[in-house]
A and B are shown apart, each in its own frame.
Chain A
Amino acid sequence: MKRTTSIFVVLVLMFVSFALGISDARAEEVKMVGTISKIELAADGKAATAILKDTKSGESVTIIVTDELTLDKFKDKRIVEGDEIRCKFEKEGDKNNSKLFRKTAGC
């Protein structure tokens, strides 16, 4: 009986959490094209925040960048404020973690 009750409780909890969206731990992925208005490198050089102004909505979005290649481009100024960027990021809580951060420019 105890075992049946436990299983029932677990099932109820699973149902409730599903219904409320609690179990959906996946981060939301967002794509945007925007112009960099500000870049700030962390003191240890292992992360940076870039503020992008969305070309469609005009809204400013703060992106956290941690990949080495993009950080290098910030450091040696190959990516600077004013550049247009195609960005893909994951929303995790109040943080937007960059998954792709490239200049849109071509010939």
Chain B
Amino acid sequence: MHTIITLFIAALLAIATTSSPALAGPDHAEFVKGPFKDGPDVTKVCIGCHDKQANDFMKTTHWKWKGTPNHVKGMEKSTKEYGKANMLNAFCTSIEGGADGLVHEACGKCHAGYGWTRTNFDFSDKSKMDCLICHAQKGNYQRASTGCSVDMKSMEKGVMNLEQAAQSVGVPTRKNCGYCHFFGGGADAVKSPGIDSLMEKTDKKHDVHMGSKASGGQDMSCQSCHKTSDHKISGASSMMAHYEGHVRCEDCHSGAKAPHQKSKNGHILNRHAASVACQSCHIPTFSRGQATKMAWYWSDTGKNLTSEEQFDKETFEKRKGTFKWDMNVTPVYAWYNGSIERYMKGQVIKDPSKPVFMTKPAGSIKDKGAKIYPYKLFQGDQPMDSTFKYLNVFQQYKSLWLDFNWDKALIEGAKGAELPYGGKYQFVKTVSYLSASHEVAPKEDVVQCGECHLGGTRMDWKTLGYNGDPMALGGRFKSSQKK
């Protein structure tokens, strides 16, 4: 009898699984009828059924490009909102450069909306959302490189089909997220370590989670780890002021799926978990598929330098300056307690002779809640206002890139950033710590004990605050750590 009930339940579950629209994804071709002349035309149809989802989306950082700075040490209680919309980084630097936010028309290619070409975009108008950029599965949906709209040229050339895109909507795939996130910093693999276009279709050796099933991987989507709720997507970028939820390995790897259960040294490995993040051992190197940008010197913009190739990428571009590239990079390690120390727009630089930390994890050996995480250490330089001692915003593609005149570019940039330009500038060095959290390696490739301990040099123990190798001198929670 027990067997019959079990079989019956199993059969019901099988039917539910195969027929559930939530899992299989409903075919929208029945509800979404064209023809559509542009993106907002499609959005109107989406909102017809998904008004709640549209309202939810308007509250997210993917829509606003800012949020309360709950990730920034010392600013956790601020109600003012910060993000890509009004912060600076050491890559393309800012989206505000130019009168009335002129540069929005280019950076907005990656905004999930239509028409944010200038500062005065109406963020309360849900009809301007771009649902397709995250949800279209077919039709080669493309956004224009400028103008924050559907790429009409692709439609005219016949390489994009808006109707097909609208009818193919479903749960986002890695290709959807990657449309923007693989190309952060202006091109493939530039910014975030381990997040590049190869992740769209890769193998287990490259990433155990996203590698194909055929290679033994799990072929997981981004949102398998970056859990979503009401269109809010978890994940705390090491560059961003706001997060909508942390992603932790333990979200999955705990309880019955707790790590190291089959390892004969499991208890020793588990003891590490109080101070060492999973990523530190399981991501031995980053950017294993293609090179990532390790340095960007804006001060070389406009010079007539010779470009060389590093890992199949150019080391100089007249419009942007010089770069350094590297792949298969051993990370640097730093304590992170869940907060970052972040350079904020307008912040005065006390000593311009020292590098400015654009972003750096908060935490130390004394911080019990902190763990050691792996990072890409990104270096560069960018202009600082010599009068006001803050990093400037400069206009690039309609000023600096036309005549390489920094003064003009800084004057133009200041107009959009509401950050006055004092008339003189100098270049200051910058440093950014970017979290290496992707490209989790197969277990046979993880960091071995001897790489950190017993003479191993992977971890710089002194910089991390230890007296030396904790295996020899005792860990931070042991009173036995020798002085």
CB distance from A5 to the nearest CB of B (A): 48
| B312 lies within 8 A of A86 (CB) | yes
Which of B159, B188, B190 contacts A102 (CB under 8 A)?
A: B188
| A77 lies within 8 A of B106 (CB) | no
Residues of A with C-beta under 8 A to B187? 105-107
| A78 lies within 8 A of B312 (CB) | no
B143-182 toward A: CB 8 Å interface, digit per residue (1/0)?
A: 0010000000000010110000000000000000000000
Bound Cα distance A100, B313 (Å):
12
Instruction: Tell me the chain A residues, 58-107 only, with Cβ under 8 Å from chain B.
Output: 68-69, 72, 76-78, 80, 86, 88, 100, 102, 105-107
Residues of A with C-beta under 8 A to B30? none
Given contacts A69-B201, A102-B188, A107-B92, contact A78 B140 (CB under 8 A): yes
Given contacts A31-B309, A77-B159, contact A106 B140 (CB under 8 A): no
Interface centre among A78, A105, A107, by most chain B C-beta atoms within 10 angstroms, is A107
CB distance from A29 to the nearest CB of B (A): 11
B185-206 toward A: CB 8 Å interface, digit per residue (1/0)?
A: 0111010000001101100000
- In this assembly, does B408 line the interface, its C-beta being within 8 Å of a C-beta of chain A? no
Bound Cα distance A100, B196 (Å):
14
- In this assembly, does B183 line the interface, its C-beta being within 8 Å of a C-beta of chain A? yes
For A103, the closest partner residue in chain B by CB is B188
- In this assembly, does B138 line the interface, its C-beta being within 8 Å of a C-beta of chain A? yes
Bound Cα distance A100, B157 (Å):
26
Bound Cα distance A86, B186 (Å):
16
Given contacts A69-B200, A76-B140, A78-B140, contact A100 B92 (CB under 8 A): no
| B183 lies within 8 A of A106 (CB) | yes
For A79, the closest partner residue in chain B by CB is B159
Residues of B with C-beta under 8 A to A88? 312
Bound Cα distance A88, B309 (Å):
12
| A72 lies within 8 A of B201 (CB) | yes
Interface centre among B92, B106, B187, B198, by most chain A C-beta atoms within 10 angstroms, is B187
Bound Cα distance A49, B442 (Å):
34
Bound Cα distance A77, B92 (Å):
28
Bound Cα distance A82, B477 (Å):
61
Interface centre among B92, B140, B183, by most chain A C-beta atoms within 10 angstroms, is B140
Residues of A with C-beta under 8 A to B197? 69, 102
Bound Cα distance A72, B188 (Å):
17
Given contacts A77-B140, A78-B140, A80-B159, contact A68 B312 (CB under 8 A): no
Which of B138, B186, B201, B309 contacts A106 (CB under 8 A)?
A: B186
Bound Cα distance A80, B309 (Å):
25
Task: Give B residues with C-beta under 8 Å from A.
Answer: 92, 106-107, 109, 138, 140, 145, 157, 159-160, 183, 186-188, 190, 197-198, 200-201, 309, 312
A-B pairs with lowest CB-CB distance, top 5: A106-B187, A107-B186, A77-B159, A69-B201, A77-B140
Task: Give A residues with C-beta under 8 Å from B.
Answer: 31, 68-69, 72, 76-78, 80, 86, 88, 100, 102, 105-107
Kindly list 14 other residue pairs between chains A and B, CB separation below 8 angstroms, not including A69-B201, A107-B109, A107-B187.
A69-B197, A69-B200, A72-B201, A77-B159, A77-B160, A80-B159, A88-B312, A100-B312, A102-B188, A102-B197, A106-B183, A106-B190, A107-B107, A107-B186
